[in-house]
Structure 1
């Protein structure tokens, strides 16, 4: 038991203090910095696109609710009224109105 001071685990060899790690060299490269810049720009564009798409969906949804839904309800009422008149005419034996 050569080292009594350490408890369990695996010890890594000591690195010389004057050498820089490969990870540090890669993270400082121009390719990585350009990649980070491109990722930031892509995130900005995606955020803007998502926001404008959300606004357009809100406008379309409210327009549909205000203009189209009442029209659909009124057309359904008219159809029910026509069906009722047709049913009454057939029961009474009178010709159906045109």
Structure 2
């Protein structure tokens, strides 16, 4: 009597045979040559994009720091020169003398 099956218990699904002939349509499609090559192409594209983004970031960093080190001080110096020229011109106009020749 102890060997009788209990009623109302949980029954597990039957195990399927893992043969290729028993696979579903989705499993067959996901293993097709077109899908495999498509996945490989997507992986290759992602790899190239990642490398390109990394090298682009490095190039942007180099360009940005070079701009800050070389160009920004030049712009500041040119602005100071322009302000000095304008100040000399204003002083010459106030004093009534002729403006000094531009440099």
TM value normalised by structure 2: 0.77
Aligned Cα RMSD in Å? 1.5
Q: Which runs of 4+ in 1 moved over 4 A?
A: none
| Partner residue in 1 for 2:4 | none
Alignment equivalent of 1:91, drawn from 83, 89, 94 = 94
- Runs of 5+ consecutive residues of structure 1 not aligned to the other structure: 6-15
| Partner residue in 1 for 2:29 | 26
Q: How does 1:39-58 map to 2 (within 5 A)?
A: 39-58=42-61
Larger radius of gyration: 2
- Distance in 2, matches of 1:61 and 1:20, equals 56
Give the length in aligned residue pairs. Answer: 84
Alignment equivalent of 1:60, drawn from 59, 63, 68 = 63
TM value normalised by structure 1: 0.81
